Structure 1
Amino acid sequence: MMTDGILSQLKKASAAEEFFALLGVEYDEKIINVARLHILRRMGQYLAGEELTGPSDPDIALRCKATLERAYADFVTSSPIEQRVFKVLKDAAAPQPNKHPALVQLGSLE
């Protein structure tokens, strides 16, 4: 039996595969290879909305597992570019200001 709580174990994890193993979530290695950081970032976003200070460790583990499954599912059906988890991808999709001034016809200047 492990003496550390699930949150402590997750904080020590350094690879996406460790998160999946600790929480007992199955995954396709191809998806993890492409979107590992995006999945973990999305999991963190989902967990930010959870209250994890009161429940028992088994309840916390179930919530963490559900958020990881939800985050993983986001990337099973779409790509990291479509999900835009990171700022750089959000900025890339944002409308760019017109860097070129409008053309003015010489005949209209008279």
Structure 2
Amino acid sequence: MAFTQELQVILFKPQGSIDLQGGKALSEQMAGVVPQAYQLWVIDLAEVNFMDSSGLVPLVKGLKAARQSGCRLVLCNVQAPVRLILELTQLDTVFEIFNTYQDIFTNVKDDSLMLAD
């Protein structure tokens, strides 16, 4: 008997700056989601124009929580100033980063987005 688990996408869209205050707000949003295996957590950074080192904390914590729960966390629409911070800290090699939200679904193999047992 085949069972297919459909993808459940959880979208986070922070705005403005992810600094101490903005990072706290993002952390609270992510903490409000009960992680379930096979979820895809998307952090859309299209409207984030600044991030400092304190803003990295919720991203890393979110990635850790997602992985521990069998979820996948990706970033998309990363603006140049934020990408620079990720590159300087070498976190651009830790996170999956997509140019657009649509790229998450078009540039990835279908079997990585849909899991069959």
Interval of TM-score (by shorter of Structure 1 and Structure 2):
under 0.3
Q: Which has the higher helix share?
A: 1
Quick check: which one's strand share is greater?
2
